[in-house]
Chains A and B, each alone.
Chain A
Amino acid sequence: MKKDTLTLRRWLAARARQGGVWPRIAVLAGSASTLLLFVQAWAIATVAQRMVIDEAPFTSLAVPLLVLPFAFIGRGALAWLKTEAGTHGALLVRQSIRHELFQRIGELGPLWARRQHSATLGNRVWDQVDALHGYYADYRPQVMLCLTIPVLILLAVFPLNWAAGLILLVTAPFIPLNMAMVGIGAKQCQQAQFREMTRMSRHFLDTLRGLPTLKLFGVSRAQADVVHEVSENFRTRTMRVLRLAFLSSTLLEFFSSLSIALLAIYIGFVYLGHFDFGTWERELDLFAGLFILVVAPDFYQPLRDLGSHYHAKAEAEAAAEDLMPLLESSAANGSNGSDWPVPECLGLTLENVTCRYPGQQAPALDGVSVDIRPGDTLAVIGPSGAGKTTLLNLLMGFLSHEAGTLMTHDGTRIDALAPEAWQQAIGWVGQHPAILSGTLADNLLLAAPDADDEAIWQALVDADLADWANVLPQGLATPLGAGGQPVSGGQARRIALARVFLRQAPLILLDEPTASLDRDSEARIMRALARLKPDHTVVMLTHRLDLLQLADRVLVLDRGRVRGVDTLDALRTRHDLCDATRFVEDSHA
C-alpha cells in the first residue's frame, strides 16, 4: 500500500506540467531579482568607494542614490510577479487534478463510492488536492532558484576576485551536496514533525469523536489527564528527533556565516597588504570588496528559503500518496456503447446471468434466468445475501455481468448500450433517497431536467406530496436539505417517487419502498405505488406482505440462484420453498 517516495515524486513532477508557463515565469522572476541585487550592490559599494576612498563631494552620489530605490522597487515588482505566477501555476495543477478525480469517481461508480466514506472521499477530492498548493506554488520554483541564483552570483563574483568566488564555492561544499544535506535535515525534521503532529491530532480527534462513549462509561473527565499525558509523550519523542535534525539546518547557518566572515577577513587582509592572491593581478578596490560582501548573503538565501518550504513538500507527498491510487486504479468503463431510443414499454429477459463483485470468489448472482414482462410488477424476495441488491445494481447498470445475456424484449442487449443510454429507461426509489441541498424543484428536476411546473405539480400529486408542498413557505422554491426545510424519511421516499413519476421511464426499480416508515407514510406510499403500477414495468425488493400483494409475480432468490418465480398464491402452496420461506399469514385478511 505504501508508495515509495520516488514514485510519489515522479507522480508529483509529472503533474507539474499542468501548470503551463507560470512556474517558469516564477523562476525567471526570482532569477531576474538577483540581477537587480547586483544593481543594489553596485550602488551601495559605489557610495562607500566615493565617500571613503575617493573623498568625492556629496553631489557625486546622485546617480547611485537615485538608482538604489528603483532597484528595490524592481525587486519588489519581481517578487510580486513570482508570487502571482507561482499561485497561478499551482491553481492550474490543482484544477486539473481535481477535474480528473471527478471524472474518475464517475467512472468508478456508486458501488465503489459506497465502499468509501463520503466524508473521506470528499476530503481527498477537496482538501488533499488543496494540500498540493505549496509544493507547486513555492517549493518547485524554489528548487530551480537554488541552482540559478548561486550560479548568477558566482558569475558576478569570479571576474572580480577568484579567491572570493572560491570561498563561496568551498564553504558551500558544492551547492548540490549542500542541498542534499539541507534536504535530508529538513526532511527528517519536517517529516518527524509532520508525522508526530498528525498522530497527535489523530489521537485528539479520536478522543473527541469518542467523547460520547467516554461519557457513557463515566471516564470522560479523567480523560483530560490522558490527553495531556499523550501530548507530553509526543513532545518527548518529537524533541528527540528534532534535536538531531536541527543540527543540519544549523550547519547551513554556520556555513553561510562562516563564508561571509572569511570573505570579510580575506578582503580586509588584501586591503591591508597581508594577502595578495585572488585578485587577477589587479588592484582590489573598496567597491569590488563591498560588492562581494553585499551579494554574498544571497548566495545562501535560496537554500534557506527552500528549507522553509519543506513542509509543503512533505504535505504534498502525503497527499499524493492518498491521491495516486485513486487516479491510477483502472476503471472498467465500457462506456463506448451505442445510444438507443427509450421505448415506452419495456420487457427484459435474463438468461443464465452470473455476476461477481471484484475480489470475491462466490458469485453474487449464479446463473439467474427470469423474464420480466412489460407492464408487470415483479417482487423479489430472499434472505440477506441472496443477491437481491446485486440484481438491482445489475439492472441499474452499475454492475456488469460476467456470463449470460441480459436483453430487452425487442432484442437490444443491455451490455451493448452505453450505461448512460440504458439508464435513461430507469426510475429508482432507494432506501435512502438523495435530498440535495437546493429547492424542492431542483430536487425533482434531478430526474427530468426539462420538466415544467405543471408536470412537477402533477408528480407531487401522484406521489401524495401535494398537500405538503402546498403549505411550504415558498412552494416549489423552498430550499430543502442542510439548513433548509427538514424532510422526514417518509417525505424523502415520496420525493424519490415523485422523481420517478416525473421521469416517465418505462422500468421502475424499488428497494424496500416502505421499510422503516411510520404508518401514515407507509399508507401514502402504497397508494402512490398503486398509481404507478399500471403504466410501468416494476421490479421491487420487499419483505412486506402488503407490498407483495401488489406484485403480479414473485421471484424467490437464495444464495444467488432462482428458487422460484410465480404468483404469490401459487408460491404459498409450493412445498419445496417451505424450508427457505415462511409466510406470516395476515390474520384478519
Chain B
Amino acid sequence: MPDASRSVKHTDLLRPYLKQMQPLSLWLGLGVFLSLVTLLSSIGMIALSGWFLSASALAGLSFTTAAAFNYFLPSAGIRLFVLTRTAGRYGERVTSHEGTLRLLSLLRRHIYEAIEPLSPTALLRYGSGDLLTRLTADIDALDSLYLRVLSPSLVALFAIVGCGVAIGVFAPGVGLFAGAALLASGVIGPWLAWRLGHNHTARWHAINGQIRSRLIERLATLPELLLYGRWRHETDSLFEAQYYRDEEERHSARLWGMSQLLSQTLLGLTLTATLAMAAWLASHDSLDPTLIILMGLAVLAAFEAIALLPQAWQNLGRIRHAAQRLDTLRSQVPEIAYPEADHACPADASLAIDDVHVAFDDGTQALKGVTLSVNAGEHLALLGPSGSGKTTLFDALVRFVEPQRGELRLGDVALGNLSEETLRDSFAVAPQDIHLFVASYRENLRLAAPEATDADMTDLLAALGLDEWLASQPEGLDSYPDEGGSSLSGGQLRRFGVARALLSPAPVVLLDEPTEGLDETTAAQVFDVIERRCSERTLLLITHRPAGLERLDRVAVIETGHLQEIGSPQALLAQPDSRFAALNRQVAL
C-alpha cells in the first residue's frame, strides 16, 4: 500500500527531531500537562455550570427543595475551575515556550553540526543564493514540531478521552459515543483537507519557487530588459504565473473552508445525537435529566481542543517539507572527511598540484588537468579570465572541493593525509567574497590570529590604506559592520579580507583578487604590503589584471581549466606571442 510506505518514511524523517526532544521531556511534558489542565478546566467549568443551572432551576420549583439545595459544592467547583484554567493557561504558556526555545537551541546546534562537514563550495553551488535563507526558515519550521503539532495533538486526544470518560461515568454508552464521534469530527475534516490539499500546497510551492528565482534573475538583468523595452512584458508574464500560484492558494482556502464545514457538521451531529441519547435515557428514567445539559456542554467545549487539530495537520506538512529538504541537502552535498591525526608531517611550505581535474554537478569542467608546482617561499600569480578555474584551484587547495582526478600536496604530503587542524593552520586565505560576521571588526580580524594585538591590526589596516576608513568608524575596532559588510565599499572589504589573511601566521598565503576594484595607486600599495608580509612565505595570488605582476617570481596563465603558460613575468613579456604579453598590451591609465 503506497499510503503505508509513505507514513513510515514520514516518521523516519521526523524521528531525529523527535529524539532531540528527549532531554527536554520534563519541560515539554509539563507543557502538555498544563495545557490539558487548562482545557479540562474550561470543559469542566462550562459543563458544571450547565448542570448547576439545571439542578438549581429544578430545585427552585418548590421552596423546600430550594432551601435544601447544596449550592456550595458546585459554586466552589466553578470557582476552582476559574483558577485552574487561568493558572494553567499561564503556566502552559511559560513552560511550553521555555521548552520550545531550549529545543531550538539544541536543534540549531544539531543542524549546524550536520552541515559543518559538507563541502562549502558544493553547498553554495547547490541551489542558488537563497538556499541558506530557506535553510534558516526550515529550522524555524522544525522548531514548531512540538508547539504546533505534538502538543495540540496530545492535548486534543487526552481532552477527548477525558470528556468521554466524564460523560461515561453517568452514561457509559453516551460517553463512548461522544468520545468516538468527537475524535472522528476532529480528524476526518482536516485529514481530508490535508489529503486533498497536499497537491495544491506542493504545486503552490513549486510555482512560487519558479517565479521567485525567475524574478530575482530578471531583476539582476534589469538594464537589458529596460533598454530593450521588455520589462513590461516580463512583469506581465510574472503576473500571469502569479495568477496560477494564487489560484492554488484559492483552492487551498476553499478546501480549508470545506473542512470547517465538515467539522461543524460532524460536531452538530455529535452534539445532537448526544443530547438525543441523554434525553431519551432521561425520559426513560435511566438518567438524571439535569445531566443532559452537562453532557451537551462538555461536547461543545471539547471542540475547542479539536479546533486546534487542523492547524496542527497543516503544520505537519510544512515541517515534513522542511525535514525533507534538510535530508536532501545532506545526501546531495558531499561531505569532506579529514583524518583525525596527520599521517605525515609536511616538509616545507611548497605546493604540488598534479594533474588535477574538477567537474561540477551541472557538467561544467572547472579544471581539466592542471599540473603546477610552487617552491616554498615562492610568489606566484595565477592570471586568467573569470570562470577559467583559478578559484576552483584555491578551493581544491583548502579542500572545499575534492578533485575527481589528480593530487595536491603540501610539503610532499598529500592534502588528504593532513588533519583538518594542520591543513587550516597551513593556509591563510582571503577568498573572493569576504564575509564579515556581525561582530566587532576586532573579532572579525582575530578569527585569523587570536593573539594579534590592536596595534598589529591598526598598523596593517593603515598600511593597506584603510586608516581613514578606520578613523571614520564611531568606535574604531569595536565598531560593528552592517549585515553583509555593506558599511565597507567593495575595495575596502577586499582589503579588510587581505588584512585578515595577512595577520594569520600560516606558511602558505592564498589571495583571490586582492586588488579588485582598487585604483592603480592603491593596488600598488596593497601589493607592497603583501610582498612585505609574505617575504618568508609561499604566496599564491589570483588576479585577472596583468598590471603590477612584474614583482612576483612567476606568473601562471590559466584559461578554460588549462594551464596555458608559466614563467617569470620578465621572460613571458619578452615572448611577444605569450598570452601575458598580449594582456599587457593596453593603455595604462
- Residue of B53, B66, B105, B263 with most partner-chain A CB within 10 A: B53
Asked whether A503 is an interface residue with its Cβ less than 8 Å from the other chain, the reply is: yes
* CB-based contact A228/B431 at 8 Å: no
A201-B94 CB under 8 A given contacts A65-B275, A212-B431: no
Closest to B90 in A: A250
Smallest CB–CB gap between A300 and chain B, Å? 11
Asked whether A478 is an interface residue with its Cβ less than 8 Å from the other chain, the reply is: no
Q: Give the docked Cα–Cα distance between A87 and B200 (Å).
A: 15
Which of B315-323, B422-430, B531-539 lies at the interface with chain A? Answer: B422-430
- Residue of A119, A232, A543 with most partner-chain B CB within 10 A: A119
* CB-based contact B435/A212 at 8 Å: yes
* CB-based contact B78/A261 at 8 Å: yes
A293-B53 CB under 8 A given contacts A206-B437, A518-B559: yes
Give which listed residue, A217, A294, A397, contacts B297 with CB less than 8 A: A294
Smallest CB–CB gap between B164 and chain A, Å? 19
List the A side residues contacting B289 at CB < 8 Å.
48, 51-52
Smallest CB–CB gap between B521 and chain A, Å? 10
List the A side residues contacting B41 at CB < 8 Å.
257
Give which listed residue, A83, A206, A297, A521, contacts B46 with CB less than 8 A: A297
Query: Nearest 8 A-B pairs (CB), nearest first?
Result: A72-B268, A76-B264, A218-B424, A434-B221, A80-B257, A264-B49, A76-B261, A231-B105
* CB-based contact A68/B519 at 8 Å: no
Asked whether B325 is an interface residue with its Cβ less than 8 Å from the other chain, the reply is: no
Closest to A297 in B: B46
List the B side residues contacting A535 at CB < 8 Å.
none
List the A side residues contacting B129 at CB < 8 Å.
119
Smallest CB–CB gap between A121 and chain B, Å? 5
The B interface, classified by DSSP as helix, strand, loop or mixed, is helix
Which of A102-110, A361-369, A460-468 lies at the interface with chain B? Answer: A102-110
List the B side residues contacting A82 at CB < 8 Å.
257
Fill in one digit per residue for B422-459: 1 if any A CB lies within 8 Å of its CB, else 0: 00110101010011011000000001100000000000
List the A side residues contacting B81 at CB < 8 Å.
257, 261
Which of A3-11, A142-150, A266-274, A350-358 lies at the interface with chain B? Answer: A266-274
List residues of B (115-145) whose CB comes within 8 Å of A's CBs.
115-116, 120-121, 123-124, 128-130, 132-133, 135-137, 139-140
Q: Give the docked Cα–Cα distance between A357 and B50 (Å).
A: 75
Asked whether B158 is an interface residue with its Cβ less than 8 Å from the other chain, the reply is: no
Give which listed residue, A117, A235, A386, A396, contacts B102 with CB less than 8 A: A235
* CB-based contact B54/A286 at 8 Å: yes
Fill in one digit per residue for B269-297: 1 if any A CB lies within 8 Å of its CB, else 0: 10110011001101100000110110011
Smallest CB–CB gap between B56 and chain A, Å? 4
List the A side residues contacting B48 at CB < 8 Å.
264
List residues of A (182-197) whose CB comes within 8 Å of B's CBs.
197
Which of B11-19, B171-179, B349-357, B381-389 lies at the interface with chain A? Answer: B381-389
Smallest CB–CB gap between B256 and chain A, Å? 6
Fill in one digit per residue for B83-109: 1 if any A CB lies within 8 Å of its CB, else 0: 001100110011001100110111011
Q: Give the docked Cα–Cα distance between A355 and B425 (Å).
A: 51
Asked whether A204 is an interface residue with its Cβ less than 8 Å from the other chain, the reply is: yes
Fill in one digit per residue for A256-281: 1 if any B CB lies within 8 Å of its CB, else 0: 01101101110111011100000000
Asked whether B372 is an interface residue with its Cβ less than 8 Å from the other chain, the reply is: no
List the A side residues contacting B340 at CB < 8 Å.
none
List the A side residues contacting B586 at CB < 8 Å.
543-545, 584
A544-B585 CB under 8 A given contacts A261-B49, A385-B519: yes
Asked whether B3 is an interface residue with its Cβ less than 8 Å from the other chain, the reply is: no
Asked whether B478 is an interface residue with its Cβ less than 8 Å from the other chain, the reply is: no
Q: Count residues of A near B (Cβ-Cβ below 8 Å).
A: 160
Give which listed residue, B54, B90, B215, B483, contacts A125 with CB less than 8 A: B215
List residues of B (390-436) whose CB comes within 8 Å of A's CBs.
398, 400, 420-421, 424-425, 427, 429, 431, 434-435
Which of B28-36, B149-157, B229-237, B464-472 lies at the interface with chain A? Answer: B229-237
Smallest CB–CB gap between B540 and chain A, Å? 14
* CB-based contact B447/A219 at 8 Å: yes
Give which listed residue, B46, B232, B272, contacts A106 with CB less than 8 A: B232
Q: Give the docked Cα–Cα distance between A91 and B115 (Å).
A: 37
Asked whether A220 is an interface residue with its Cβ less than 8 Å from the other chain, the reply is: yes
Q: Give the docked Cα–Cα distance between A218 and B450 (Å).
A: 12
Give which listed residue, B227, B261, B388, contacts A73 with CB less than 8 A: B261
Q: Give the docked Cα–Cα distance between A242 and B223 (Å).
A: 48
List the B side residues contacting A436 at CB < 8 Å.
217-218, 221
Query: 21 A-B contacts, Cβ less than 8 Å apart?
Result: A51-B289, A52-B57, A68-B271, A87-B249, A105-B222, A126-B211, A200-B104, A206-B438, A209-B132, A209-B435, A239-B101, A250-B86, A253-B89, A257-B81, A272-B59, A272-B66, A286-B57, A423-B226, A436-B218, A437-B217, A518-B560
Smallest CB–CB gap between B49 and chain A, Å? 3
Fill in one digit per residue for A117-157: 1 if any B CB lies within 8 Å of its CB, else 0: 11101110111000000000000000000000000000000
Asked whether B371 is an interface residue with its Cβ less than 8 Å from the other chain, the reply is: no
Fill in one digit per residue for B231-265: 1 if any A CB lies within 8 Å of its CB, else 0: 11101001100100010011001101110111111
Closest to A544 in B: B586
Not counting A57-B283, A118-B217, A588-B576, a sample of 15 additional A-B residue pairs whose C-beta atoms are within 8 angstroms of each other reads A47-B279, A83-B257, A202-B438, A211-B123, A224-B112, A231-B109, A246-B94, A261-B82, A268-B71, A383-B589, A426-B227, A428-B224, A503-B228, A518-B385, A584-B587
* CB-based contact B46/A293 at 8 Å: yes
Asked whether B4 is an interface residue with its Cβ less than 8 Å from the other chain, the reply is: no
Smallest CB–CB gap between B201 and chain A, Å? 14
Asked whether B169 is an interface residue with its Cβ less than 8 Å from the other chain, the reply is: no
Give which listed residue, B269, B275, B559, contacts A47 with CB less than 8 A: B275
* CB-based contact A420/B587 at 8 Å: no
Give which listed residue, A79, A102, A127, contacts B235 with CB less than 8 A: A102
Which of A172-180, A322-330, A339-347, A480-488 lies at the interface with chain B? Answer: A480-488
* CB-based contact A489/B559 at 8 Å: no
Smallest CB–CB gap between A181 and chain B, Å? 15
List the A side residues contacting B106 at CB < 8 Å.
228
Fill in one digit per residue for A474-505: 1 if any B CB lies within 8 Å of its CB, else 0: 00000001110010110000000001000100
Smallest CB–CB gap between A220 and chain B, Å? 5
* CB-based contact A52/B222 at 8 Å: no
Give which listed residue, B66, B86, B216, B585, contacts A545 with CB less than 8 A: B585
* CB-based contact A217/B215 at 8 Å: no
Which of A312-320, A404-412, A575-583 lies at the interface with chain B? Answer: A575-583
Smallest CB–CB gap between B92 and chain A, Å? 9
A382-B589 CB under 8 A given contacts A212-B120, A273-B66: yes
A239-B98 CB under 8 A given contacts A211-B120, A293-B49: yes
List the B side residues contacting A548 at CB < 8 Å.
587
* CB-based contact A216/B424 at 8 Å: yes
Asked whether B205 is an interface residue with its Cβ less than 8 Å from the other chain, the reply is: no
- Residue of B49, B78, B98, B544 with most partner-chain A CB within 10 A: B49
Asked whether A77 is an interface residue with its Cβ less than 8 Å from the other chain, the reply is: yes
Asked whether B75 is an interface residue with its Cβ less than 8 Å from the other chain, the reply is: yes
Asked whether B364 is an interface residue with its Cβ less than 8 Å from the other chain, the reply is: yes
Closest to A385 in B: B519
Smallest CB–CB gap between A245 and chain B, Å? 9
Asked whether A338 is an interface residue with its Cβ less than 8 Å from the other chain, the reply is: no
Smallest CB–CB gap between A510 and chain B, Å? 13
List the B side residues contacting A218 at CB < 8 Å.
420-421, 424-425
Q: Give the docked Cα–Cα distance between A49 and B78 (Å).
A: 22
Q: Give the docked Cα–Cα distance between A381 and B388 (Å).
A: 27
List the B side residues contacting A83 at CB < 8 Å.
253, 256-257, 260
List the B side residues contacting A51 at CB < 8 Å.
279, 282-283, 289, 292
Give which listed residue, B227, B242, B250, B584, contacts A584 with CB less than 8 A: B584
Give which listed residue, A75, A516, A581, contacts B587 with CB less than 8 A: A581
Asked whether B520 is an interface residue with its Cβ less than 8 Å from the other chain, the reply is: yes
* CB-based contact B292/A518 at 8 Å: no
Asked whether B474 is an interface residue with its Cβ less than 8 Å from the other chain, the reply is: no
* CB-based contact A482/B387 at 8 Å: no
Asked whether B347 is an interface residue with its Cβ less than 8 Å from the other chain, the reply is: no
